[in-house]
Homo-oligomer: A and B are copies of this chain.
C-alpha cells in the first residue's frame, strides 16, 4: 500500500469538509489520556526536557557553519539552550533549488502521501511540541497543545486537501476539435500545474506552528520546495515539524532539502536575504505591518501576509449582560491578549446597553467586565492556564505606556501567582475608558492584554468606527452583541464590506478569538490585516501556474 493509499480516505474527507464547512477535525484536540494514551503527556514532557541545552540534530541539515539559538522560556525566563544549524541564505537556497525538481516530479499523489505521513508522525509528538510551544510562546498548556498540535495539523491537512483539489481542477489532457466547415482542427492539449519554485515561510513568535503549517503544506503539496524561517524566539515547535517532514522524505528516497529549517537569531536575521533572492517566488509571513508591507512590495513575488489589525466588539443590546461580560473577559484574558484575533476596542453607547430587564449603563458594564476579568485571573485553577505568560518583554512595556494615557483606568495590569512558574513573565489585562472622539488613542493595534472601552454616541457610531478602523488599519475578528435583527444586518453588511468576520452574540465556551480549520477562513485577505486567507482556493492556487501545451493530433 502506498502512502497515498494509506491516507486517501482522510484526504477525501478533508476535501468534503472544505466544501461543507461544517465541523471537521482530523486530529483530536483533547489531550486526555483516553485519546492520546496514558503516558503521552509525561513522555512528551520528558522528550522536551531531553532536548534542552543540546544541539537539535535530528534535522540532519549538514554543513552548519555554527549552531545557534537564543530561545528563552517566558515561564522561567531562562534560555532553552537548544541550538540549530546555521546555514547561509545562499546555501539554503541552492539546496532548495536542487531538491525542487525531484519533489515536483514525483507527482501529486506521491507528494500527498508523504505530507500526510509526516502529519501522522507529528501527531506522535504533539505533547513534546506542546511543551516546546509553552516554553517559547508563553501559551498555557491547553492552548499550546491544541494550537501547535491538532489545530496546526488540521490547518496543514486543510492546505493539503485544498491543493489536492486545485491541482486537479482542470484535466491533464483533452482533445480540442474545432469545426471549420469543410474540415476539423484537432489538437491534443495538456495542462500542467507548474509549481512556482522556492517558497519561504516566515513564522511568528506567538503561534510558531499554527500560523505557518498552512503555508508550508500548501507550498509543498503544490510542488514547491520550502524554506521555513521561524521567529528567532520560537524555533523549536516548528523544528519538530520540519524534522518529521525531512525524515519521511529521506525514507522515501527523496532529497529532504525540499523542506529546510532556516534558523537565525535576532542579532543576525537572514529573512531579507531569503525574501529578496530572485529565485524565491513565494513568501508567507505572519508578523508586524511594517515588515509585511515591505515583503508585499518586493517585485516579482507572490506574497501571503498576516499582519496586524484592530479588532472590535460592538455592544448594542444583549440577552444576558453577565454571560456576555464573562465571555468577553475570557477573550481578553486568553493568552494575555496575545492572539491576532483578540478583541481590543469595545464600543459601548453612552446611553448603555439594552437588555430585556432594562438598560445596563456604560459604567455598569465596564464594572462587570472588570469583575469577570479579575475573577478569572484570581481563580488559581483557571487564571494561570488561561493567561499563560508574556512572550515578549516589549508587550509589558506597552502595558506600562498605555496606563499613562489620558484616559480613565478601569483596571490596572498586575502580576498574579503562577504556582508552577515563580519566574514567569506575567501581566493581567489593563482596561481603559476612552471617548470615541479620541481616535488617536484607540486607532492602532496595541498588542497584548489591553482592552479599551470606547464610549460612543450610539451603535451607529460604534459600527462606523469599527468599520473605518478595519478598513484603514485592518481587523481579523469582530464581536457584536445585538438582539435587534435590523442592527444585526447593518453590522453584518458594514463589517463584511470591511472584510471582517463577525461573531454575533457569543456566550458560553466559544470565543471570538477562535478560528476553526475547515470552516472559518482565518484572515480574509481583504483589509490591511493581511492579504491572504487560510485556506481559500487562491491560498493554494497562487502557489502554482497553469501552463497548457498543445499539438495537432494525428488521425488514428
Contact = CB atoms under 8 A, between A and B. Distances in A.
Nearest to A488: B551
Interface in A527-552: 528, 533, 536-538, 541-542, 545-552
Interface string A221-262: 000000000000000000000000000000000000000000
Interface in A7-24: 19-23
Contact of A22 (B174, B497, B519): B174
A189 B552 contact: no
Contacts of A296: 299
A502 interface: yes
Contact of A194 (B30, B177, B504, B526): B526
A32 to B, nearest CB: 9
Contacts of A495: 547, 549
A506 B187 CA distance: 9
Interface stretch (A61-69, A209-217, A306-314, A508-516): A508-516
Nearest to A519: B176
Contacts of A500: 547
Nearest to A187: B510
Contacts of A385: none
A175 B22 contact: yes
A174 B178 CA distance: 43
A501 B171 contact: no
Given A538-B541, A547-B526, A180 B505 contact: no
Given A170-B19, A546-B524, A546-B533, A552 B492 contact: no
Contacts of A503: 549-551
Contacts of A538: 537-538, 541-542
A28 to B, nearest CB: 11
A499 interface: yes
B537 A541 contact: yes
A422 interface: no
A536 B547 contact: no
A414 interface: no
Contacts of A519: 174, 176, 189, 548
B546 A536 contact: yes
A521 interface: yes
A492 B524 contact: no
A30 B171 CA distance: 28
A22 B177 contact: yes
A524 B545 contact: yes
Interface string A126-138: 0000000000000
Contacts of A537: 166, 169, 537-538, 541
Nearest to A194: B496
Nearest to A549: B502
B547 A496 contact: yes
Nearest to A170: B21
Contact of A293 (B299, B497, B545): B299
Interface of A: 19-23, 30, 166, 169-171, 174-181, 185, 187, 189-192, 194, 196, 293, 296-297, 299-300, 492, 495-497, 499-510, 516, 519-521, 524-526, 528, 533, 536-538, 541-542, 545-552
30 contacts: A19-B171, A20-B171, A21-B170, A23-B176, A169-B537, A176-B516, A178-B510, A180-B509, A190-B492, A194-B496, A194-B497, A194-B499, A492-B549, A495-B547, A495-B549, A499-B545, A500-B547, A501-B550, A502-B550, A504-B550, A505-B552, A508-B552, A521-B547, A521-B548, A524-B545, A524-B546, A536-B546, A537-B537, A538-B538, A541-B541
Given A21-B176, A23-B179, A503-B549, 5 more contacts: A19-B169, A21-B170, A178-B516, A190-B492, A191-B521
| Ranked 5 nearest A-B pairs via Cβ | A526-B545, A504-B551, A496-B547, A538-B538, A502-B549
